[in-house]
Amino acid sequence: MILKAHEIADLVGGVVDGDGESKITKLSKIESGDSESLTFLGNPKYTEYIYSSDAGIVIVNEDLVLKEKIKPTLIRVKDPNSAFSKLLSHFNNSNTNKVGIDKKSSLHTSVKYGNNLFFDKFSIAEENVILGENVKIHSQVYLGRNVVIGNNSIIYPGVKIYNDSVIGDNCIIHSGSVIGSDGFGFNFDSNGNTTKVIHNGNVVIENDVEIGSNCSIDRATLGSTLIKRGAKLDNLVQIAHNVVIGSNTCLASQVGVAGSTVIGNNCLIGGQAGIAGHLKIGDNVQMQAKSGVLKNIKSGSVIMGYPAINYMDYNKSFVHFKNLPKVMGFIYNLMKKKDVN
């Protein structure tokens, strides 16, 4: 993509300071740009780099005062971070605007799809799949029977979506993730052998959800495993059968949620947190990384540790824990003196 400075200014609502005909073809960091790159100065800590940067165009705050001459053309805006985010989206859209069905893909004759479908090579859509407008299915994706994918959703290479799964509008699912596989459910027979519990439910993912790479979201035993609107899952997240993830809740990498647990809206769950099954987690809960949650959590709580407790209580307890060797040494010395006496 080639953009001129005045075109960029129009996109972000900025003012050109320098050559409005300057052209760029790519984005870069301010400390490593070249004459064909666009970058931004969003953090004052990096101001020094603007004087040595070889970038062609730099987005800066409208109030920036230069102390010496610079090479780049500037685009002055109210919020450089927000403006650069718009450009990231603009560049991304240009890279994901592919259209067409590859001859090496396979769509069942019953598949229905909207305008501007992209269906890449070696991908498969089984019976009665429904794909909305502007859906992008990259290579080696498998869509099982009756899968529904809403408008403007992007499914990246290698994703497997099992039968009956429903994906909403504006969703993104990254490579290697599996949606709708069987849950981890077994019973024991009279001889103590494990017998598989059949999972007849599905997975429902609402609008504006993003799922990272190599995640696994299991289908429900009955009913639906549900990921609500705006939820964000990092890479390597495990969601078990019949779990509900609330709207705008964010789960960092390696979080595991056991079966039938319900997590509220607007929660923030740190990496490697583990949540036991059949629990209720309220709205606006914050779990620190590596927390182990074994009981219901009230809305608005901030928790940490294993088993997880109130964050401030954990910090107070940790002070005593790290001093435990000294305390035990003191007690041991007292015991030795008592024995001597």
Closest C-alpha to 5, from 78, 56, 64: 56
Active-site option among 138, 174, 199, 241: 241
8 A C-beta contact, residue 269 and residue 250? yes
Read off the tokens for 262: 């319900």
Residue 293, both tokens: 């949650």
Taking each helix axis as running N to C, give the angle between helix 5-12 and helix 80-95, from 0 to 180 degrees, rounded to the nearest 10: 110
Conformational region of residue 301, where left means phi above 0, alpha means psi within -120 to 50, and beta covers everything else: beta
Q: Return the H-helix or E-strand segment holding 335.
A: helix 324-340
273 in Cβ contact with 290 (< 8 Å): yes
One-letter amino acid for residue 281 of the chain: I
Q: If you count them, how many residues does the chain have?
A: 341
Distance CA 233, CA 239 (A): 10
Distances (CA, A) of 104 to 145, 233, 235, 250: 20, 31, 29, 37
Asked if 174 is an active-site residue, the reply is: no
Residues taking part in catalysis: 241
